Structure 1
Amino acid sequence: MEIFKHDANINFLGMRKVSIAIAVFLIVASLGLIFTKGLNYSLDFTGGVLVEVDYAKPVNIADVRADLTKAGFDNAVVQGLGGTREFSIRMQPKDDPAALKAKTNADRADKVATDVRAALSASRPDVTIKRHDFVGPQVGQELRTDGVYAVIFVIIFIMAYLWMRFEKRFAVAAVLTEIHDALVTVGILALTHREFDLTVLASVLAVVGYSVNDKVVVFDRVRELFRLARKAEPQEVLNRAINNTLSRTIITSLFTAITMGALAILGGPAVHGFAVTMLIGIVVGTLSSIFVASPILLWLGVTKKDLMPVSKENPELARRP
């Protein structure tokens, strides 16, 4: 199945100055948004009050959320605890104005727990509070730091893998593009002020992994064409590689996007952030695979000589085109 002909000849590299300029602008704009507007961190990162409730009879989690919303707790995070009777509810004390009058965090947690029970028992009197506690921001700070380290380690290992499989210029091009994809995705989250929780962080890591897959397909085709072509300019080879893999790139991204779209619509609040972030990352990663990765590779000066197998007897002779 092909959307574009295998031998199409769209001059993507002819647009490289414009595409790289747009990519640089998006990176700078994303950094500006992240450092000025900031991310809308969820309770996973900021801390808050944790309330665990237990129902005598099974209840739908959507009904629990509806009862809390009806009582004014719009930002409460509700998660099941392995069944249909026990749930954890997390929220900021500021979401409960009465709790802000309390002097200590323990008193605020007590007040939030009391108000949560009142909100839930209005429709289901069989609810009880199992425990409640105040979670400080120290844990959230540790999670943010670990998340940044996770992204850095992923990018480093991707670079090492591509360095071994292809050549150092391919590794550098892929890493620069991955940094672009991650920053632009997070920048869009900052712009839209979407809640940034652990599932969104996991989605950003998934975007990095998904995006590099597209680059590897294009780079593999570049290597193959360089070795097959007797005399061809690097720009011509890179253009041909993008065109040859264009249908595969579009089809893969399209079907992945359809899956994420279904998850965003039907998956519920628990995975909504993950799915939406993946949709953003798929669009950004697909465009960067076509318009950013190869122009960077061309700028780094990749040639046929760099990709020829090395002979143990005479390395220079083996690399000769």
Structure 2
Amino acid sequence: MRFSLIHIVPETTKVPFIKGRFVAMLFSAVLMIASIGAFATMGLNLGIDFVGGTLIEIETQEDANLTEIRESLNGLGFGEVQVQTFGAANDVLIKMRQQEPENPEVEMAAERAQQQAANTVQETLVEMLPGVEFRRVEVVGPAVSGELVRAGILAVGLALGAMLIYIWFRFEWQFSLGAVIALTHDVIATMGMFAVTQFEFNLASIAAILTIVGYSMNDTVVVYDRIRENLRKFKRMPLAELLNLSINQTLSRTLITSITTLIALFALFFLGGAVLRGFSFAMIWGVLIGTYSSIFVASPLLLLTGVKRGTSEQDS
């Protein structure tokens, strides 16, 4: 029996997407308000990349006793130390927040305090866990974490700005406005997801957001290309009907791309371990929200901004 994903997704559909634009706008508005509210009230669970601290990844000879390890490390006076398994029962991830130096005015005092705390933790683990193997030890100071915060915000801002400029030259200002609003919609929704789920927000999360921006933009450009072609081809067709036709013509490609991407991401989420769980979940959310926004946000906005037939005559 021959199985084909292309045969599951019809090549031609007649779904009235534009007819449901007001329901989609209401849903998006509620999602944006909820995401901003969650971000403002709950905040993000920032990883040591952004707040500074120490991350130690170890492998024990036998199944790890997390309670014993946690009690021993918390007794060192470095504040609450997070201890969790990831993957196998003998794989342990230890996180310790930034340490306050005794004399903050001394240059590099914070970095030294953090390094000393990391050394003490490693010595304690060696004593209590014979044969322990240190796979990874990362120490991030406050100066580095502050720079990473600024770099992360700058990266997302530049990505959105570059997309706006690209679409403006590739299409027209109505398309550019719709694409950037859709991208902003996706970024805010993703930040809200991190606030609600409290997945650790680190550099991998920034990479996930940038990937989501690229994925959503690619999906939107495919739909926009078809809309522009149809604007030249069907000069007298009502715009709402033309938008529906264009979305349906690209729907097969959109769904096939999304489904195949989600298969890989779900495998990464369930088999990639705790370290990649936040990243893979963000990507899964991003694919879903990006597919939604390209159909129900970016395209209907062209109807509101009143894209004209004359502007579609230019070639890229």
Range of TM-score over shorter length:
0.7 to 0.9
CA contact (8 A) 1:40 1:196 kept: yes
Within-5 A mapping of 1:1-321: 1-49=6-54, 62-63=59-60, 67=64, 69=66, 71-72=69-70, 75=82, 91-92=96-97, 110-125=116-131, 135-309=140-314
| Structure 1 position 273, deviation (Å) | 2.1
| Structure 1 position 236, deviation (Å) | 0.7
Find the aligned partners of 2:114 and 2:276 in 1 and give their Cα distance.
Answer: 29
May I ask how many residue pairs the two structures share in their alignment? 288
Find the aligned partners of 2:62 and 2:41 in 1 and give their Cα distance.
Answer: 32
For each residue in 1:68-97, what CA deviation from the matched residue of structure 2 results, as whole angstroms up to 9, or x when unmatched?
84512773599xxxxxxxx99652268xxx
Aligned CA distance change for structure 1 residues 302 and 63 (closer, same or farther; 3 Å): farther
| Structure 1 position 44, deviation (Å) | 0.6
Aligned CA distance change for structure 1 residues 110 and 64 (closer, same or farther; 3 Å): farther
| Structure 1 position 45, deviation (Å) | 0.6
CA contact (8 A) 1:67 1:119 kept: no
Structure 1 unmatched runs, 5+: 54-60, 79-86, 95-99, 311-321
Aligned CA distance change for structure 1 residues 185 and 30 (closer, same or farther; 3 Å): same
- Matched to 2:128, the amino acid is A
| Structure 1 position 141, deviation (Å) | 2.2
For each residue in 1:254-282, what CA deviation from the matched residue of structure 2 results, as whole angstroms up to 9, or x when unmatched?
11011111112222333222211101111
Report SS of the residue matched to 2:130: coil
CA contact (8 A) 2:45 2:201 kept: yes
Aligned CA distance change for structure 1 residues 253 and 64 (closer, same or farther; 3 Å): farther
Structure 2 unmatched runs, 5+: 1-5, 74-80, 86-91, 104-109
Find the aligned partners of 1:245 and 1:49 in 2 and give their Cα distance.
Answer: 47
- Matched to 1:75, the amino acid is Q
Aligned CA distance change for structure 1 residues 19 and 27 (closer, same or farther; 3 Å): same
Find the aligned partners of 2:132 and 2:29 in 1 and give their Cα distance.
Answer: 57
| Structure 1 position 155, deviation (Å) | 0.7
Find the aligned partners of 2:93 and 2:14 in 1 and give their Cα distance.
Answer: 56
Aligned CA distance change for structure 1 residues 9 and 77 (closer, same or farther; 3 Å): same
| Structure 1 position 111, deviation (Å) | 4.9
Aligned CA distance change for structure 1 residues 103 and 211 (closer, same or farther; 3 Å): same
Report SS of the residue matched to 2:243: helix
Aligned CA distance change for structure 1 residues 265 and 9 (closer, same or farther; 3 Å): same
For each residue in 1:137-191, what CA deviation from the matched residue of structure 2 results, as whole angstroms up to 9, or x when unmatched?
3322221121111111101111111111111111110000000001101101101
Report SS of the residue matched to 1:38: coil
CA contact (8 A) 1:67 1:123 kept: no
CA contact (8 A) 2:179 2:298 kept: yes
Find the aligned partners of 1:292 and 1:203 in 2 and give their Cα distance.
Answer: 21
For each residue in 1:171-225, what CA deviation from the matched residue of structure 2 results, as whole angstroms up to 9, or x when unmatched?
1100000000011011011011111011111101110001111101111110111
CA contact (8 A) 1:147 1:201 kept: yes
